[in-house]
């Protein structure tokens, strides 16, 4: 039984990261944007674990926990901001949130 | 260097953390103290005092804590001249921001314990970034800085402009953090470590084995920090966020987030290569010689775009906060010049450039907070929620000293002698010219764009000092519109003005001692 080579995880991580980044750049719904950012963070986590495996170093896996905690804190603040906006404007489409410009 | 499995904190570790612990402790104290105060905004005075005492105590702890220069807490925290100086800048910025905030948040009805608590936590994040010797800590510092700022930007919960500022700042901030984090992952993948000194030591080998990972990782780190520093083309969020956020928050954001981003630039681009975390040394110039040829032109390109766009677009701004936003973008360009000068030159000129960058950060913090003081006093009931240049008219007649101080900050921002702003630019351009042809070209662009900036800064000064309110139908009403110059604003602006003057008259004191300290460090650490 042959193991999946580490390169495959790294490629998957890069693909997930790109999907997330494209989501941020192309989608217009604040919630979807937010999900895309979370996808990017999780892609990074996958990369950390894969690299940790390659180097035989636990450090990379420990970093994942830090990232998870930071992502959780970001979710709390981000969702609060989005909910707050929705209460006033009843939309979370970022093209409609365009008061400030120039 | 291997990290021993030794989990005990030593006394030096605690002393190294002392400034961080003091600010964190006072942030929590402010939160608890808030529970014992009545909810009316005018009863929140003790919070201001507690925050100021906390900042002051941290300044003292930073100056006198007996932590020798070195890397502490399992190779995480760096204590050296650079970190001590950066901490001073961040704490000064936080203290002045608290002074500017006090009357403002009370009048706007957002004086709550969380405001000061978040301001202090954000300061802790900035300090962590300046002290970090490890990429992971750098990321955590970045998030500790940014997440409270997302909340502060949207602190006018019911005001659409503030909500929008918060949303934009959050989405772009989180996006840039993800890019920065992927950069860390790639650097970790290339070198097998996240400790900056180790990364630098292993880079020559990593460059041979996996150059793609190194370059991609470095590029992502630069882009991520470019967002935070609001460097063109990653600046698009800045004007909107600066305009929508509460003015006192904008003032803090403009200095703390930017200075922290440059602290991170300093640690990543140079610290990594040196094994010292401070300035380039001869023994570990591999990162510089091989990688600086890659990143110096990239940063130089960002610098040119940032200076040109920031200054040119600022000329047409009529809204004060937007004008100052573009001004802060433009100043990021000058700071980027100093980074290029560090990378492109020799170790000796790199010490000069590092000193110039640090001095610029200090001066930028003082004069930008001072300029935002003008927006703070021109905003409130009976006045515009979002002052334009003409809203400053009459300030000179009503408060001549205030208008005078504002003019001083604006002249300093424009970079005219005898203010600190002139010498900040002078040292940066001097270091750039000494570093080589690339630096010379950048210095020329810098001087030309500074000339543009004189126009829009002096136009603001004209409105503040000379102009009278337009004689409209209800001239009496406009004459009665007060300026909100509370006592704390006077103190904050006074301190900033004195420092801008003092640093303008005696800049060599600071710069020479920085250069000497950095050169000594280079010489000491360059030994094998």
Reported pTM: 0.93
Compute how many other C-beta atoms are within 10 angstroms of the C-beta atom of residue B53.
13
- Report the residue of chain A nearest B177, measured CA to CA: A41
Compute how many other C-beta atoms are within 10 angstroms of the C-beta atom of residue B20.
22
Identify the pLDDT of residue B523: 52
Query: Can you tell me the ipTM of this complex?
Result: 0.95
d(CA B477, CA B452): 36
Residues of B in contact with A20 (CB under 8 A): 178
d(CA B78, CA B263): 12
Q: How far is A17 from chain B (nearest CA, A)?
A: 9
Lowest mean pLDDT across A1-15, A35-49, B128-142 = A1-15
Q: Taking residues B488-515, report their average pLDDT.
A: 92
Residue B275 has pLDDT above 60, yes or no: no
Residue B37 has pLDDT above 80, yes or no: yes
What is the DSSP track for A11-76? Answer: HHHHHHHHHHHHHHHH--BHHHHHHHHHHHHHHHHHHHHHHHHHHT-THHHHHHHHHHHHHHHHHH
Q: What is the pLDDT of residues B423-477, one digit of tens each?
A: 999 999 999 999 889 999 999 999 999 999 999 999 999 999 988 876 654 555 5
Residue located via tokens 């602190």: B155
Helix (H) or strand (E) holding B72: strand B70-72
Which residue of A14, A17, A70, A76 to mutate against B (max B Cβ within 10 Å)? A70
**Max CA separation in chain A (angstroms):** 61
Q: Taking residues B321-340, report their average pLDDT.
A: 95
What interhelical angle do B45-64 and B11-35 show, nearest 10? 180
Which of B324, B373, B371 lies closest to B487, judged by CA?
B373
d(CA B470, CA B475): 8
Residues of B in contact with A33 (CB under 8 A): 171
Q: Taking residues B109-119, report their average pLDDT.
A: 91
Identify the pLDDT of residue B471: 60
Q: What is the mean pLDDT of chain B?
A: 87
Q: What is the pLDDT of residues B363-403, one digit of tens each?
A: 999 999 999 988 898 887 666 778 888 888 888 888 899 99
Write the Ramachandran bin of B453: left for phi over 0, alpha for psi from -120 to 50, otherwise beta. alpha
Q: How far is A3 from chain B (nearest CA, A)?
A: 20
Q: Residue B270 gets which letter from DSSP?
A: I
Residues of A in contact with B163 (CB under 8 A): 81, 84-85, 88, 97
d(CA B55, CA B22): 8
Q: What is the pLDDT of residues B360-371, one digit of tens each?
A: 999 999 999 999
């Amino acid at each position: 039984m042959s193991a999946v080579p580490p390169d495959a995880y790294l490629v998957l991580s890069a693909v997930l990261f790109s999907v997330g980044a494209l989501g941020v750049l192309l989608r217009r719904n604040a919630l979807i944007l937010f999900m895309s950012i979370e996808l990017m963070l999780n892609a990074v986590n996958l990369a950390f674990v894969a690299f940790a495996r390659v180097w035989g170093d636990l450090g990379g896996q420990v970093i994942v926990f830090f990232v998870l905690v930071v992502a959780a804190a970001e979710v709390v603040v981000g969702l609060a901001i989005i909910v707050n906006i929705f209460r006033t404007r009843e939309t979370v489409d970022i093209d409609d949130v365009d008061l400030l410009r120039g | 260097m291997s990290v021993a499995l030794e989990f005990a904190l030593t006394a030096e570790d605690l002393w190294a953390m002392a400034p961080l612990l003091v600010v964190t402790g006072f942030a929590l104290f402010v939160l608890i103290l808030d529970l014992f105060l009545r909810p009316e905004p005018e009863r929140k005075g003790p919070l201001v005092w507690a925050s100021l005492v906390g900042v002051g105590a941290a300044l003292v702890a930073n100056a006198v804590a007996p932590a020798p220069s070195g890397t502490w807490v399992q190779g995480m925290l760096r204590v050296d001249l650079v970190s001590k100086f950066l901490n001073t800048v961040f704490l000064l910025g936080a203290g002045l921001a608290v002074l500017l905030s006090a009357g403002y948040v009370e009048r706007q009805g957002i004086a709550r314990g969380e405001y000061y608590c978040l301001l202090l936590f954000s300061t802790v994040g900035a300090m962590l970034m300046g002290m970090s010797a490890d990429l992971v800590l750098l990321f955590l510092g970045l998030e500790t800085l940014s997440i409270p700022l997302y909340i502060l930007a949207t602190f006018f919960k019911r005001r659409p402009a503030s909500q929008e500022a918060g949303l934009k700042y959050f989405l772009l901030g989180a996006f840039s953090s993800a890019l920065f984090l992927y950069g860390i992952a790639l650097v970790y993948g290339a070198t097998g470590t996240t400790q900056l000194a180790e990364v630098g030591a292993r880079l020559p080998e990593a460059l041979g084995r996996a150059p793609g990972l190194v370059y991609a990782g470095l590029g992502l780190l630069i882009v991520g920090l470019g967002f935070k520093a609001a460097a063109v083309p990653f600046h698009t969020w800045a004007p909107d966020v600066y305009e929508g956020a509460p003015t006192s928050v904008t003032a803090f954001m403009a200095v703390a987030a930017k200075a922290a981003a440059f602290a991170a630039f300093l640690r990543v681009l140079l610290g990594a290569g040196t094994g010292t975390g401070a300035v380039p040394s001869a023994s570990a110039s591999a990162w510089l010689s091989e990688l600086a040829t890659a990143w110096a032109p990239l940063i130089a390109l960002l610098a040119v775009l940032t200076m040109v766009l920031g200054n040119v677009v600022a000329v047409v701004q009529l809204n004060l906060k937007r004008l100052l936003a573009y001004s802060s973008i433009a100043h990021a360009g000058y700071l980027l010049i100093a980074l290029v000068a560090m990378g492109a030159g020799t170790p000796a000129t790199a010490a000069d450039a590092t000193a110039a960058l640090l001095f610029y950060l200090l001066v930028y913090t003082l004069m930008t907070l001072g300029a935002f003081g003008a927006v703070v006093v021109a905003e409130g009931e009976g006045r515009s929620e979002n002052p334009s240049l003409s809203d400053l008219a009459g300030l000179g007649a009503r408060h001549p000293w205030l208008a005078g101080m504002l003019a001083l900050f604006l002249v300093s921002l424009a970079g005219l002698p005898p203010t600190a702003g002139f010498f900040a630019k002078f040292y940066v351009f001097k270091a750039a010219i000494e570093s080589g042809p690339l630096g010379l070209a950048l210095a020329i662009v810098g001087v030309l764009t500074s000339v543009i900036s004189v126009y829009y800064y002096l136009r603001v000064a004209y409105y503040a000092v000379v102009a009278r309110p337009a004689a409209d139908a209800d001239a009496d009403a406009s004459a009665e519109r007060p300026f909100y110059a509370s006592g704390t604003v006077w103190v904050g602006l006074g301190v900033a003005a004195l420092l801008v003057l003092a640093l303008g008259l005696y800049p060599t004191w600071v710069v020479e001692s920085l250069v000497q300290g950095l050169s000594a460090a280079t010489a000491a650490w360059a030994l094998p």
